[in-house]
Structure 1
């Protein structure tokens, strides 16, 4: 409800006009900020250039102060003069740090480097003057003083030369700035004109969006006034106040038509519901009947098998008793058809199946298994091992001329519990393997598992649906009469302590 209110408020005519105004003003402000930033950048660059002139003037002034304070000290040997000298030297050094000291291609920067180097030489020379004076070495300090005086004059002239060159360059840059400023002024005026035109276009567009729906609504209202109640609904192209009026008009027309059609639709709906209720009642009765039959038939069969087993035991026919008992256990497991069982139960079903098969084949099939007992409680889908063993018996070893062997092995590898069913039968070609792998996740009925590979497809489909992964089975066969190995890859489930 809140979202609908907010959407209507945002799409209202007043808000639309405000958005247009804010959008235009935002563009103007952004452009002016851009222009202002660029002008400030140019002015800042000029200030930096004139800052260099200021620095050079300051260095020249400090140079004169050093020379004056040194001369006063040499003439009067005054403590105040010496203190002033060291203070001016420190200020002079601080100002020199603002100059370039690296070797570059720019001639002005090279002159700054020269000023820096000459100044260092000059300071070293004035320091010697002070030392000679304090050491009363009159001859040396006079010679050194003359050299410092000449070097001071040379350095002052060099600074003036660089200062004049930079000033001339600044004059040229000043003309450039004036041109840029004039261009900026013209650009600002052009932007204001474009913004004004843009505002006119946007206002015209917004006005048309309001008047066009109102015109369509007026035409439709005239038709209704003439008695035509079955006209097409007026198209709604906006989500503002005009749209609210249009929706109300369309709703009025629709309510008239709906009232006429409502009785017919209700009758058809009631008839359809009655048919569905009858069909559901029929299906429910059939399901109840099938459920009762499914309960009766297994109990009758189990009771019959148990009676046969008891009769065999009373007649001391142990093999017959064991055979019937295995058949009963095998059929009971199939009928129960639980969705999930332990791996141990699956292996016990294989044991029952192999016992029954060996009775049929007079014990010609040797059956061996190697099981990691720590994995016997792993939960798996029911009926995933017996179809594989049955496939090995029916299509692998049933018609061979040599001793038949079936091996079952269970082990842990990485994040999978691996279950291998291997036989020494006729093998399987790669085309059949590829066909089995291409299972379309259809779970086949048990009546469909008589064909070669369909039982394996059923197992693959159910494992993929159960675990949600594709790689659940590997089929290996080295060729004709080389046997076949089918390996199930059962993902380890989180929370299984035994895994």
Structure 2
């Protein structure tokens, strides 16, 4: 690619044209960027006030609908009926438009649309009763329509007020962001100007420096000094051609001994460079080979573990076979993709396999208990690799730091409609400041990736677990951590039954 660039810029004219077009492209890019940001700002402003305009129109359409309905009830005028129908249709149309707009406080638009449906349905029944001369039904339906209209008007006014508050806050934030963007744009413009000046100075230097060297060498040769250094030009243009011709002219007056000496010296340098290139290529080939040899296919590891299980079974080493099966199960589960949901039953199976591994590692130092009160909860969907990191923390940081060991209890039970997963240990515990730090880090908008901790199998920390739970269930109170220093820690995960869809397979 570098050689192609040199070939394409092999004249001063092409270089000047290229650098000129590059400067224009930089300035144009900044202009386009500023224009796009400006358009985005104004589009956000328009979208921000669209909901307020729709709500204001809905108030007018509702008032006109009630007015024309009342006029029809009194006069039975067909124009009043048509005007009512027109305004009612516009009212419903605006309500449908509101469904595509994010309203304040996540307002449920279905409540407003249901009121409007009730309003139009009873209004039509009142019109039908009026046409059928059923005065009692007409009076009853009209009074009910009037009452529902009040409810709708109050609902629209309340929603309009909330929307106004939200739009005010959003506009303030947007204005602050716009100031930041303006400052960033200013810095960008200054950077472009500075970069353009640097490019201009660099090009000027690269073009005039070889000419000055040629002038100095020509002056020395005119004085009879043929031992001046050769003029070296790295650019591929007319100046290099001039420098090469000048160097050839100077070399032609030297004797044959100097020419042979220079030639042998050049050949020696070329040979040394080729040897260096050959050594460098050998080093690169060795590095590439080592890189290929260091790549281990997870399927190879699974197959190897399975072969170990079969070998242990053939040798009747049941504990070793069970250990390898659990290790393969934990590893297979840990390398799965984190964006694929699993069931609580899958999580519990992985935790059981991990517990069996910890029993081999710690022996009687740590005791485990698993209590599932409701088997139906095992079919709830959840993100993968949630329970194992919590149990790992309890083993390594809770019980592992106690010489006498301890207990880890896992319970799954139902609390009203929600499912609860409780993990309790009697380890060293932690201070409230530590818990607040964990929850605060999980609530941060921008978080740095967690470094893998020694002794952990997944590299997934408790902060990552909390963040994925909150994103999956869209709730902040999805997990609760309580601890007493020196007594232990209790972690409770609440799975909302109405949002945790069950897996039927």
Normalised to the residue count of structure 1, the TM-score between the two structures is 0.46
Q: Flag the structure with larger Rg.
A: 1
Normalised to the residue count of structure 2, the TM-score between the two structures is 0.46
